[in-house]
Protein backbone atom coordinates (compact mmCIF):
# COMPACT_ATOMS: atom_id res chain seq x y z
CA UNK A 1 0.00 0.00 0.00
CA UNK A 2 1.27 3.46 -0.84
CA UNK A 3 1.60 6.27 1.71
CA UNK A 4 -1.18 8.80 2.20
CA UNK A 5 -1.25 11.44 -0.54
CA UNK A 6 -3.23 14.59 -1.21
CA UNK A 7 -6.79 13.69 -2.33
CA UNK A 8 -6.78 10.28 -0.59
CA UNK A 9 -9.60 9.22 1.71
CA UNK A 10 -8.46 8.68 5.28
CA UNK A 11 -10.35 7.02 8.12
CA UNK A 12 -9.27 8.32 11.52
CA UNK A 13 -10.22 6.30 14.61
CA UNK A 14 -9.81 7.74 18.12
CA UNK A 15 -9.10 5.75 21.28
CA UNK A 16 -12.86 5.28 21.93
CA UNK A 17 -13.37 3.74 18.48
CA UNK A 18 -15.09 6.82 17.02
CA UNK A 19 -14.43 7.09 13.30
CA UNK A 20 -14.07 10.07 11.00
CA UNK A 21 -13.78 9.94 7.22
CA UNK A 22 -11.88 12.74 5.50
CA UNK A 23 -10.39 13.61 2.14
CA UNK A 24 -6.83 14.86 2.57
CA UNK A 25 -6.12 18.41 1.38
CA UNK A 26 -2.88 20.38 1.62
CA UNK A 27 -3.36 22.91 4.42
CA UNK A 28 -6.54 21.18 5.65
CA UNK A 29 -7.26 20.55 9.32
CA UNK A 30 -9.28 17.86 11.06
CA UNK A 31 -11.00 19.07 14.25
CA UNK A 32 -12.74 16.93 16.88
CA UNK A 33 -13.53 17.04 20.62
CA UNK A 34 -9.90 16.21 21.45
CA UNK A 35 -8.05 18.91 19.52
CA UNK A 36 -7.01 18.92 15.89
CA UNK A 37 -4.64 17.27 13.42
CA UNK A 38 -3.46 18.93 10.22
CA UNK A 39 -3.88 16.96 7.00
CA UNK A 40 -0.22 17.69 6.22
CA UNK A 41 0.75 15.54 9.23
CA UNK A 42 -1.11 12.61 7.62
CA UNK A 43 0.08 13.14 4.01
CA UNK A 44 3.26 11.10 3.50
CA UNK A 45 2.52 8.75 6.41
CA UNK A 46 1.98 5.02 5.81
CA UNK A 47 -1.43 3.37 5.89
CA UNK A 48 -1.98 2.43 9.54
CA UNK A 49 0.02 5.35 10.97
CA UNK A 50 -0.59 6.15 14.65
CA UNK A 51 -0.70 9.92 15.17
CA UNK A 52 -1.41 12.42 17.93
CA UNK A 53 -3.87 15.30 17.98
CA UNK A 54 -2.92 18.74 19.31
CA UNK A 55 -4.25 17.65 22.73
CA UNK A 56 -2.41 14.31 22.75
CA UNK A 57 -5.33 12.14 21.59
CA UNK A 58 -4.35 8.97 19.73
CA UNK A 59 -5.62 8.79 16.15
CA UNK A 60 -5.09 5.73 13.93
CA UNK A 61 -5.05 6.68 10.23
CA UNK A 62 -6.16 3.97 7.80
CA UNK A 63 -7.15 3.88 4.16
CA UNK A 64 -10.86 3.02 4.35
CA UNK A 65 -12.01 -0.38 3.15
CA UNK A 66 -15.12 -0.31 1.00
CA UNK A 67 -17.21 -1.32 4.04
CA UNK A 68 -15.77 1.59 6.10
CA UNK A 69 -16.45 3.97 3.27
CA UNK A 70 -20.06 2.85 2.78
CA UNK A 71 -20.86 3.23 6.47
CA UNK A 72 -19.22 6.66 6.84
CA UNK A 73 -19.82 8.34 3.46
CA UNK A 74 -22.33 11.14 3.01
CA UNK A 75 -25.62 9.65 1.87
CA UNK A 76 -28.41 10.78 -0.40
CA UNK A 77 -30.59 7.68 -0.74
CA UNK A 78 -30.45 4.83 1.82
CA UNK A 79 -27.38 2.68 1.10
CA UNK A 80 -27.09 -1.08 1.02
CA UNK A 81 -25.19 -2.20 4.11
CA UNK A 82 -21.99 -4.25 3.80
CA UNK A 83 -23.69 -7.41 5.11
CA UNK A 84 -26.15 -7.28 2.19
CA UNK A 85 -23.54 -6.14 -0.33
CA UNK A 86 -21.60 -9.35 0.21
CA UNK A 87 -24.69 -11.51 -0.28
CA UNK A 88 -25.75 -9.63 -3.40
CA UNK A 89 -22.31 -10.10 -4.97
CA UNK A 90 -22.29 -13.84 -4.26
CA UNK A 91 -25.94 -14.72 -4.95
CA UNK A 92 -26.04 -12.36 -7.92
CA UNK A 93 -22.92 -14.17 -9.16
CA UNK A 94 -21.21 -10.90 -10.03
CA UNK A 95 -17.93 -11.97 -11.63
CA UNK A 96 -15.04 -10.45 -13.60
CA UNK A 97 -15.83 -9.73 -17.23
CA UNK A 98 -19.63 -9.67 -16.92
CA UNK A 99 -22.00 -6.92 -18.02
CA UNK A 100 -24.13 -5.82 -15.09
CA UNK A 101 -27.10 -3.46 -15.11
CA UNK A 102 -27.91 -1.82 -11.78
CA UNK A 103 -30.71 0.49 -10.60
CA UNK A 104 -31.14 2.79 -8.82
CA UNK A 105 -27.67 4.14 -8.32
CA UNK A 106 -28.95 5.86 -5.14
CA UNK A 107 -25.90 6.86 -3.09
CA UNK A 108 -23.57 4.61 -5.09
CA UNK A 109 -22.72 2.12 -2.34
CA UNK A 110 -23.79 -0.99 -4.26
CA UNK A 111 -22.22 0.49 -7.41
CA UNK A 112 -18.79 0.39 -5.71
CA UNK A 113 -19.11 -3.31 -4.87
CA UNK A 114 -20.47 -4.26 -8.30
CA UNK A 115 -17.75 -2.38 -10.15
CA UNK A 116 -14.99 -3.98 -8.12
CA UNK A 117 -16.50 -7.42 -8.73
CA UNK A 118 -16.80 -7.09 -12.53
CA UNK A 119 -13.19 -5.92 -12.69
CA UNK A 120 -11.50 -3.97 -15.46
CA UNK A 121 -12.74 -6.46 -18.08
CA UNK A 122 -16.38 -6.13 -17.06
CA UNK A 123 -18.93 -3.38 -17.53
CA UNK A 124 -21.39 -1.76 -15.13
CA UNK A 125 -24.29 0.36 -16.29
CA UNK A 126 -25.98 2.06 -13.36
CA UNK A 127 -29.29 3.86 -13.88
CA UNK A 128 -30.90 6.39 -11.54
CA UNK A 129 -34.30 8.03 -11.94
CA UNK A 130 -33.59 11.12 -9.81
CA UNK A 131 -31.01 13.60 -11.15
CA UNK A 132 -30.20 14.80 -7.58
CA UNK A 133 -29.38 11.23 -6.47
CA UNK A 134 -27.39 10.65 -9.66
CA UNK A 135 -25.31 13.80 -9.06
CA UNK A 136 -24.68 12.84 -5.44
CA UNK A 137 -23.64 9.30 -6.42
CA UNK A 138 -21.34 10.62 -9.15
CA UNK A 139 -19.45 12.78 -6.60
CA UNK A 140 -19.18 9.88 -4.17
CA UNK A 141 -17.94 7.46 -6.83
CA UNK A 142 -15.41 9.99 -8.13
CA UNK A 143 -14.06 10.39 -4.65
CA UNK A 144 -13.98 6.61 -3.94
CA UNK A 145 -12.38 5.57 -7.24
CA UNK A 146 -10.39 8.78 -7.83
CA UNK A 147 -12.49 9.50 -10.95
CA UNK A 148 -15.21 7.62 -12.83
CA UNK A 149 -13.70 4.39 -14.21
CA UNK A 150 -14.03 3.87 -17.96
CA UNK A 151 -16.14 0.72 -17.50
CA UNK A 152 -18.77 2.50 -15.37
CA UNK A 153 -21.64 4.03 -17.32
CA UNK A 154 -23.81 6.26 -15.10
CA UNK A 155 -27.17 7.12 -16.63
CA UNK A 156 -30.25 9.07 -15.61
CA UNK A 157 -33.61 7.46 -16.41
CA UNK A 158 -35.86 4.48 -15.83
CA UNK A 159 -34.03 1.16 -15.78
CA UNK A 160 -36.94 -0.59 -17.51
CA UNK A 161 -36.18 1.42 -20.63
CA UNK A 162 -32.58 0.24 -21.04
CA UNK A 163 -32.70 -3.50 -20.28
CA UNK A 164 -33.18 -4.55 -23.91
CA UNK A 165 -30.42 -2.25 -25.17
CA UNK A 166 -27.90 -3.44 -22.54
CA UNK A 167 -28.98 -7.13 -22.47
CA UNK A 168 -27.00 -7.61 -19.22
CA UNK A 169 -25.71 -10.87 -17.77
CA UNK A 170 -26.93 -9.70 -14.36
CA UNK A 171 -29.74 -7.34 -13.37
CA UNK A 172 -29.37 -5.87 -9.88
CA UNK A 173 -32.28 -3.82 -8.54
CA UNK A 174 -32.48 -1.76 -5.37
CA UNK A 175 -35.60 0.29 -6.01
CA UNK A 176 -39.07 0.39 -4.46
CA UNK A 177 -40.97 -1.38 -7.27
CA UNK A 178 -38.87 -4.13 -8.82
CA UNK A 179 -42.12 -5.85 -9.81
CA UNK A 180 -42.77 -3.03 -12.31
CA UNK A 181 -39.51 -3.95 -14.07
CA UNK A 182 -40.40 -7.62 -14.66
CA UNK A 183 -42.07 -7.11 -18.04
CA UNK A 184 -39.02 -5.26 -19.41
CA UNK A 185 -36.74 -7.93 -17.89
CA UNK A 186 -38.68 -10.67 -19.68
CA UNK A 187 -38.22 -8.84 -22.97
CA UNK A 188 -34.61 -7.72 -22.50
CA UNK A 189 -32.68 -10.18 -20.31
CA UNK A 190 -30.82 -12.96 -22.09
CA UNK A 191 -31.74 -16.49 -21.11
CA UNK A 192 -29.62 -17.59 -18.13
CA UNK A 193 -29.22 -14.05 -16.76
CA UNK A 194 -29.50 -13.52 -13.01
CA UNK A 195 -32.18 -11.26 -11.51
CA UNK A 196 -31.40 -10.01 -8.03
CA UNK A 197 -33.57 -7.48 -6.22
CA UNK A 198 -33.51 -5.95 -2.78
CA UNK A 199 -36.51 -4.44 -0.96
CA UNK A 200 -37.20 -3.51 2.66
CA UNK A 201 -40.76 -4.80 3.16
CA UNK A 202 -42.72 -8.04 2.87
CA UNK A 203 -45.46 -6.71 0.50
CA UNK A 204 -42.70 -5.63 -1.92
CA UNK A 205 -41.19 -9.13 -1.82
CA UNK A 206 -44.61 -10.66 -2.36
CA UNK A 207 -45.42 -8.48 -5.37
CA UNK A 208 -41.98 -9.13 -6.87
CA UNK A 209 -42.32 -12.90 -6.43
CA UNK A 210 -45.79 -12.86 -7.95
CA UNK A 211 -44.70 -10.82 -10.98
CA UNK A 212 -41.64 -13.04 -11.59
CA UNK A 213 -43.74 -16.19 -11.22
CA UNK A 214 -46.53 -14.95 -13.48
CA UNK A 215 -44.08 -13.99 -16.22
CA UNK A 216 -43.35 -17.71 -16.67
CA UNK A 217 -39.72 -16.88 -17.52
CA UNK A 218 -37.92 -17.00 -14.15
CA UNK A 219 -36.71 -20.12 -12.42
CA UNK A 220 -35.13 -21.10 -9.09
CA UNK A 221 -36.52 -18.11 -7.19
CA UNK A 222 -35.23 -17.69 -3.63
CA UNK A 223 -35.93 -15.05 -0.98
CA UNK A 224 -33.80 -14.40 2.06
CA UNK A 225 -32.45 -11.84 4.48
CA UNK A 226 -29.01 -11.60 6.04
CA UNK A 227 -28.67 -11.47 9.83
CA UNK A 228 -25.38 -10.15 11.12
CA UNK A 229 -24.66 -10.08 14.85
CA UNK A 230 -21.49 -8.42 16.15
CA UNK A 231 -19.81 -9.73 19.29
CA UNK A 232 -17.95 -7.98 22.06
CA UNK A 233 -14.71 -9.80 22.91
CA UNK A 234 -12.91 -8.09 25.81
CA UNK A 235 -11.15 -10.23 28.42
CA UNK A 236 -13.79 -12.49 29.95
CA UNK A 237 -16.65 -10.45 28.53
CA UNK A 238 -17.38 -12.45 25.41
CA UNK A 239 -20.95 -12.02 24.25
CA UNK A 240 -23.13 -10.60 21.45
CA UNK A 241 -23.38 -6.80 21.38
CA UNK A 242 -26.52 -5.42 23.02
CA UNK A 243 -27.42 -3.53 19.87
CA UNK A 244 -27.56 -4.68 16.28
CA UNK A 245 -28.97 -3.62 12.92
CA UNK A 246 -32.22 -5.55 13.28
CA UNK A 247 -33.54 -5.24 9.75
CA UNK A 248 -32.39 -3.91 6.41
CA UNK A 249 -33.98 -5.71 3.47
CA UNK A 250 -34.97 -8.90 1.68
CA UNK A 251 -33.13 -10.29 -1.31
CA UNK A 252 -34.89 -12.07 -4.17
CA UNK A 253 -32.81 -13.97 -6.69
CA UNK A 254 -33.95 -15.87 -9.81
CA UNK A 255 -32.65 -17.04 -13.20
CA UNK A 256 -34.14 -15.92 -16.49
CA UNK A 257 -35.11 -18.86 -18.69
CA UNK A 258 -36.94 -19.54 -21.90
CA UNK A 259 -40.72 -19.60 -21.28
CA UNK A 260 -41.47 -22.34 -18.74
CA UNK A 261 -44.14 -24.85 -19.59
CA UNK A 262 -46.35 -26.17 -16.79
CA UNK A 263 -45.63 -29.84 -16.17
Ligand X SMILES: C[S@@+](CC[C@H](N)C(=O)[O-])C[C@H]1O[C@@H](n2cnc3c(N)ncnc32)[C@H](O)[C@@H]1O
Which residue ranges make up the site for ligand X (CB under 6 A)? Answer: 77-80, 103-104, 106-110, 127-130, 133, 158-160, 174-176
Q: Which CB, 15 or 78, lies closer to ligand X? A: 78
132 Cβ neighbours under 8 A, 6+ residues apart? 76
Residue 216 backbone class (left: φ over 0; alpha: ψ -120 to 50; beta: rest): left
CA 171 to chain centre: 15
Residue 71 Cβ, how far from ligand X at the closest point, in Å? 12
Q: Report H helices in 121-200.
A: 131-145, 163-166, 182-188
Q: Which CB, 123 or 133, lies closer to ligand X? A: 133
Residue 75 Cβ, how far from ligand X at the closest point, in Å? 7
Q: Distance (Å, rounded) from C-alpha 7 to C-alpha 108?
A: 19
Residue 112 Cβ, how far from ligand X at the closest point, in Å? 8
Residue 35 Cβ, how far from ligand X at the closest point, in Å? 34
Q: Which CB, 37 or 79, lies closer to ligand X? A: 79
Residue 191 Cβ, how far from ligand X at the closest point, in Å? 23
Q: Which CB, 92 or 106, lies closer to ligand X? A: 106
Q: Using alpha carbons, select from 19, 179, 129, 171 the residue that is nearest to residue 10.
A: 19
117 Cβ neighbours under 8 A, 6+ residues apart? 89, 94, 95, 96
Q: Distance (Å, rounded) from C-alpha 200 to C-alpha 208?
A: 12
Q: Which CB, 122 or 178, lies closer to ligand X? A: 178
Residue 143 Cβ, how far from ligand X at the closest point, in Å? 14
Q: Which CB, 4 or 179, lies closer to ligand X? A: 179
Q: Are the C-beta atoms of 119 and 97 separated by less than 8 Å?
A: yes
Amino acid sequence: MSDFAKGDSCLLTDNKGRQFLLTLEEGGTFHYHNGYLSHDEIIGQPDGAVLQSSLGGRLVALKPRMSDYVLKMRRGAQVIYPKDLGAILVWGDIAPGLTVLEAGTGSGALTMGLLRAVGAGGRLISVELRPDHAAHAQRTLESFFGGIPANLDLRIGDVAEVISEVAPDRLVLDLPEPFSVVEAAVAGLPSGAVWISYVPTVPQVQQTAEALHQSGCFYGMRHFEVLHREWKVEGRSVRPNHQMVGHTGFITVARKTQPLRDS
